[in-house]
């Protein structure tokens, strides 16, 4: 799924989701946000890089820390229907 964020580079790497970008904009180091979330920096890294899906509790807590709505920080994924064509 293309989310438009892959064109944004942060320290030379593409941004996979808004969490990493908003953490960076807030001036927080990864370990700082992880401590506030009560998780490991490696779990936070996995979420930021799209390797794991965060829990609802994680999403809500991260959004509150970053003063954002959880639905903005973690938008719902739209299924990719690429290759599905309507036939008449």
- Please give the average per-residue pLDDT across 81-86, as a whole number: 56
pLDDT tens string 7-39: 556 565 555 778 998 999 999 999 999 999 999
Asked whether residue 79 is assigned to any structural domain, the reply reads: no
The DSSP secondary structure of the chain, one letter per residue, reads: ---S-TT-EETTEE--SHHHHHHHHTT--HHHHHHHHTS-HHHHHHHHTTSSPPPHHHHHHHHHHTTS-HHHHSPPPPP--TT-----
- Please give the average per-residue pLDDT across 48-77, as a whole number: 91
21 token code pair:
């970008």
Asked whether residue 85 is assigned to any structural domain, the reply reads: no
Predicted local confidence at residue 2, as pLDDT: 44
31 token code pair:
């370990």
Give the residue numbers spanning the domain of 34.
15-73
Q: How many domains does the chain have?
A: 1
Asked whether residue 81 is assigned to any structural domain, the reply reads: no
Asked whether residue 83 is assigned to any structural domain, the reply reads: no
Q: What is the CATH number of the domain that holds 34?
A: 1.10.260.40
């Amino acid at each position: 799924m293309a989310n438009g964020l892959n064109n944004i580079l942060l320290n030379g790497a593409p941004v996979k989701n808004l969490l990493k970008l908003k953490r960076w904009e807030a001036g927080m180091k990864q370990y700082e946000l992880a401590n506030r979330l009560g998780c490991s920096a490696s779990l936070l890294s996995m979420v930021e890089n799209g390797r794991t899906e965060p829990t609802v509790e994680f999403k809500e807590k991260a959004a509150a820390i970053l003063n954002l709505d959880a639905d903005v920080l973690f938008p719902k994924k739209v299924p990719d229907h690429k290759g599905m064509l309507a036939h008449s």
